[in-house]
Amino acid sequence: MTSATGADADPCAVRRDTDLRRHAHLLHRMHDAMLDGAPSPGPPRGVVQRSWHRMRAAGHDADRIGRVEPADRRSVEERRRRTPLAMVIDGLRDSLVSVADQAGYLMMVTDAEGMVLWRAGSPLIRRRADAVGFADGVRWTEQTAGTNAIGTALVEQTPVQLFSAEHYTRPLHGWTCTACPLHDPRTGALLGVVNLSGEARDAHPETVALVRTAVRFAEAELWRRRETGLNALRAVAGSTLVRAGGPALLVDADGWVASVNGIATTGRVAAPAAGHPVVVPGVGRCLPEPVAGGWLLRPEPGGAGGALRLRLDRSAVPAQAVLDGGPGPAWRYPLSPRHHQLLVSLMAAGPSGLTAAALSTAVYGEAGHDIAVRAEMSRLRRRLGGVVLTRPYRISPDVVVDPA
């Protein structure tokens, strides 16, 4: 029988030689002891223990799953349309659905907020999932469903396999679930979670490798598609930039620079949007002009070369990053509490900047949150672009930082 303890480096909940019935019985005793405050027959695995602690601290009810009302169909379709996961969902289905069908598993793909966007599996396993609220449009997080592979993988930012009573809520004790986060390979941003779920009696450690491999293939495909897009922009860069008649940048939809003319800039600017100026360090305010596959950015009249200044407006609710880079009005970006903390830390660090590990300590109060830091920094850079540089994270030397 497998031990109840294990290193977090190994996400497997069982081994090939695990007696699943005996191990499930042991886990039920651990679960009951945890709820009753009684002596436990052994410690749970680290990832389970941490999640159980979060559930107890939040007062989660172990006897029922929380409110899991699904979003309406229109909202789900909109999320499917907008997420980069739409580019790789067919590949994920090809990798996992046939295996899921043969093993009686259900494949699910969620977005970064844990909302189930796609499901695939036999009618029987889908009916079982429906019975516990595991449906399209549901946010399947620790807050809604207690300790579960998807929600816990979102918190831990690592692959998670859970077996039987490792789930916090009893309605899930008959399940085994394996989830793996999927990230943007270029930015490190969390895009969502890929999960296989089935009956506890069908638990197998190789499910972890299967889901991990599918995620790696999907991330490789995302990388290939985005490089293809940048190369397509580079192919037309010469004629496009010549027509611009001066300093200009050609960028993709996420702000990654394909080509420049008369400008020395970083590899990324803020993601452009029609009608919204983009402030580029060393250049000033630029107006995005749509081109096939991306955007052309060139300075506003009278705005080229102006000093770019960054300050924080804490009087606004929420706090805002304010960028002043030209004759027009300053550009304002509302900050989430986490982004506010990150930006304050970087502004205080000066030119030397901070590593992901240092930001983990500064923002989360402890080490070990490097992956979460990188994901948050990717989101922040999507809005601020080259204002924030990487390796280490720091404010661009072309940006004047005003005291808070």
pLDDT tens-digit map of 256-296? 899 998 877 667 888 888 877 787 877 777 889 999 889 99
pLDDT tens-digit map of 23-44? 999 999 999 999 999 999 999 9
Question: Which residues lie closer than 8 Å to 128 by C-beta, 6 or more apart?
Answer: 106, 199
pLDDT tens-digit map of 146-205? 999 999 999 998 999 999 999 999 999 999 999 999 998 887 788 999 999 999 999 999
Confidence at residue 90, expressed as pLDDT on a 0 to 100 scale: 96
CA distance 226 to 206: 31
pLDDT more than 70, % of the chain: 94
- Does residue 336 carry a pLDDT above 80? yes
CATH 3.30.2310 fits 308-401, yes or no: no
pLDDT tens-digit map of 220-253? 999 999 899 999 999 989 888 888 888 889 999 8
Determine if residue 300 is left, alpha or beta; phi over 0 gives left, psi from -120 to 50 gives alpha, anything else beta: beta
CA 258 to chain centroid: 24
H helix or E strand, kind and range, residue 226: helix 206-235
In the chain, residues under CATH classification 1.10.10 are 308-401
CATH superfamily of 20-226: GAF domain (3.30.450.40)
Q: What is the DSSP string of 2-58?
A: --S---TT---S--TT--HHHHHHHHHHHHHHHHHTPPPSSPPPHHHHHHHHHHHHH
Determine if residue 333 is left, alpha or beta; phi over 0 gives left, psi from -120 to 50 gives alpha, anything else beta: beta
| H helix and E strand count, the chain | 12, 16
Query: What is the value of pTM for the model shown?
Result: 0.76
Confidence at residue 4, expressed as pLDDT on a 0 to 100 scale: 36
Please give the residue that has the higher pLDDT: either 167 or 318: 167
In the chain, residues under CATH classification 3.30.450.40 are 20-226
Confidence at residue 306, expressed as pLDDT on a 0 to 100 scale: 56
CA 2 to chain centroid: 32
